[in-house]
A = this chain, B = another copy of it.
Amino acid sequence: MNPIDILVTNGTVLAMDQDHTVVENGAVAISGDRIAGIGPASSFSSHNVAEVIDARGGIIMPGLVNTHNHAAMTCFRGLADDLELMSWLQDYIFPAEARLTEKKVYHGALLACAEMILSGTTCFADMYLFEDAVARAAKEAGMRAVVGEVLYDFPSPNYGPIENGFSYTTELIDKWQGDELITAAVEPHSPYLCSPDLLVEAAAVSEASDVPLIIHVAETRSETETIRSTYGKTPVAHLGDLGVLSPRLVACHCVDLTEDDILLLRQKNVKVSHNPESNMKLAAGIAPVPRLLEAGVCVGLGTDGCTSNNNVDMFAEMDMAAKIHKVNCLDPTVMDARSVLRMATIEGARVLGLDGQTGSLETGKKADLILIDTNKPHLTPMYHIESHLVYAAGAGDVAATIINGRLVMKDRHLLTLDAEAVMAEVNEIAKDILGG
């Protein structure tokens, strides 16, 4: 084994690997950016270890993977809630977004990174405008991220006409190629805001560069009706006929699906990002996730942007995912804690094509992990770790966050970002939004 840089010890290791490995009184050794070993705490010596992190009997687990975010929307958190979708978009979100700048997106994304790190997320996928700023923010925060500029038929406040959108996207891919934290993706908005030509070209760019293709699909019944009336088929079938469905495709939301859609997603090995809090708050509907899982579709969890949530907290998302499907199916056995926890970790990594790097604790993988402090009234007693993490734990229970072998948060203090400065910048942006 290489020399150990960080030894995280004295906790229960929940590996989230294929074998559901749990090591009581365990430890994880980190060398450089990778996991060098996992085992009983007694099997590691802290001699010559640069940093020993005491889990104090808590849980050592993989960092959470947020498969769908619009990070910079933190700038609009709580600006407009409890409204009809069209009023929300047209009276609040679109006018605010029309006045976006790269600087606002950068600071908004930094704030989201601060929140994500504090709530145990180590990797996120993002879709927005000025996405290079999101990549720079994630890099500065020390977070793993998949970033992509949103592409649609109408002119963008960032790049203008769609041709420029594609050149922006290829430049983003080239710029971040080989980066240890950032992956650039191709991100057409949705079947209803993207022409068939746009969708086909986006798929071609994604294939040529072998990067993820991320899109919103079948988010609402109204979207399905629009696509049906225009193309005579469901959104998923429409994408299928255009040749856009592939294992690289991340289909976000997937609320309004037919059984044929589900089988097609499975056949093409399309990945799905499930966003229950957003779907509930916007009254979009309930995605048929138990059926998707039964059909063998790979499903991860995502928060969506925090205007429709209103946080980017994956613990709240797990709790919601576990509960909404039980009541929807009138069956308390669906979406058990382990399945939900897998969606928030290893399955989420698989959705983003990063399961070789992150999402579970395994020797040789990147060291993306978090500690949960379980010595709290609401986490006492402890019968089942997985159940506790899904149903009882919260964002505030994350005691430390390590990404790519780097300690980025300890004892609720951010080590890569100045939280006060980040909040102050976004508070200034909010004043501008209210005055605008």
Stretch of A223-231, A342-350, A423-431 on the interface side: A423-431
B378 touching A337, Cβ below 8 Å: no
In the complex, what's the smallest C-beta–C-beta distance from A56 to chain B, in angstroms? 12
A316 touching B319, Cβ below 8 Å: yes
CB-defined contacts of A384 to chain B, threshold 8 Å: 78-79, 81
Interface mask (A362-384 → B, CB under 8 Å = 1, otherwise 0): 00000000000001111011111
A430 touching B383, Cβ below 8 Å: yes
CB-defined contacts of A330 to chain B, threshold 8 Å: 283, 285
A281 touching B78, Cβ below 8 Å: no
**Is A311 on the interface with B (CB-CB < 8 A)?**
yes
**Is A12 on the interface with B (CB-CB < 8 A)?**
no
Once bound together, how far apart are the Cα atoms of A372 and B312, in whole Å?
19
**Is A422 on the interface with B (CB-CB < 8 A)?**
yes
B280 touching A333, Cβ below 8 Å: no
B388 touching A78, Cβ below 8 Å: yes
Stretch of A111-119, A165-173, A202-210 on the interface side: A111-119
**Is A336 on the interface with B (CB-CB < 8 A)?**
yes
**Is A331 on the interface with B (CB-CB < 8 A)?**
yes
B377 touching A82, Cβ below 8 Å: no
A375-410 residues at the B interface, CB under 8 angstroms? 375-378, 380-384, 387-388, 391-392, 394-397
A332 touching B114, Cβ below 8 Å: no
CB-defined contacts of A83 to chain B, threshold 8 Å: 332-333
B423 touching A332, Cβ below 8 Å: no
Choose among B320, B332, B426 the residue that contacts A323 (Cβ–Cβ < 8 A): B320
Once bound together, how far apart are the Cα atoms of A310 and B394, in whole Å?
11
Interface mask (A128-152 → B, CB under 8 Å = 1, otherwise 0): 0000000000000000000000000
Choose among B323, B381, B429 the residue that contacts A430 (Cβ–Cβ < 8 A): B381
A427 touching B381, Cβ below 8 Å: yes
Once bound together, how far apart are the Cα atoms of A391 and B377, in whole Å?
23
**Is A219 on the interface with B (CB-CB < 8 A)?**
no
Once bound together, how far apart are the Cα atoms of A289 and B277, in whole Å?
19
A61-105 residues at the B interface, CB under 8 angstroms? 74-75, 77-79, 81-85, 88
**Is A9 on the interface with B (CB-CB < 8 A)?**
no
When all copies of this chain in the complex are counted, the total is: 2
A333 touching B395, Cβ below 8 Å: no
Q: How many residues of chain A have a CB within 8 Å of chain B?
A: 72
Once bound together, how far apart are the Cα atoms of A323 and B319, in whole Å?
13
In the complex, what's the smallest C-beta–C-beta distance from A213 to chain B, in angstroms? 28
Q: A310-B391, A378-B311 are in contact. Are A331 and B78 (CB under 8 A)?
A: no
A307-327 residues at the B interface, CB under 8 angstroms? 309-313, 316, 319-320, 322-324, 326-327
Interface mask (A244-285 → B, CB under 8 Å = 1, otherwise 0): 000000000000000000000000000000000101111111
Q: A327-B286, A380-B427 are in contact. Are A81 and B311 (CB under 8 A)?
A: no
**Is A329 on the interface with B (CB-CB < 8 A)?**
yes
B387 touching A81, Cβ below 8 Å: yes
A381 touching B327, Cβ below 8 Å: no
**Is A434 on the interface with B (CB-CB < 8 A)?**
yes
CB-defined contacts of A193 to chain B, threshold 8 Å: none
A309 touching B391, Cβ below 8 Å: yes
**Is A419 on the interface with B (CB-CB < 8 A)?**
yes
A81 touching B394, Cβ below 8 Å: no
Once bound together, how far apart are the Cα atoms of A136 and B413, in whole Å?
38
In the complex, what's the smallest C-beta–C-beta distance from A110 to chain B, in angstroms? 9
The chain A residues found within 8 Å of chain B, CB to CB, are 74-75, 77-79, 81-85, 88, 111, 114-115, 118-119, 277, 279-286, 306, 309-313, 316, 319-320, 322-324, 326-327, 329-333, 335-337, 375-378, 380-384, 387-388, 391-392, 394-397, 419, 422-423, 426-427, 429-430, 434
- List 25 contacting pairs A-B, 8 Å CB cutoff, sorted by A: A77-B383, A77-B392, A78-B383, A78-B388, A82-B335, A83-B332, A111-B377, A114-B377, A119-B378, A279-B327, A280-B323, A281-B323, A283-B326, A283-B332, A284-B327, A285-B330, A306-B392, A310-B392, A313-B378, A320-B323, A380-B426, A380-B427, A382-B430, A383-B434, A396-B397
Identify 11 new A-B residue pairs, CB closer than 8 A, beyond the known A78-B391, A376-B423.
Answer: A74-B381, A83-B332, A88-B332, A118-B377, A280-B326, A280-B327, A281-B326, A377-B423, A380-B423, A382-B430, A395-B396
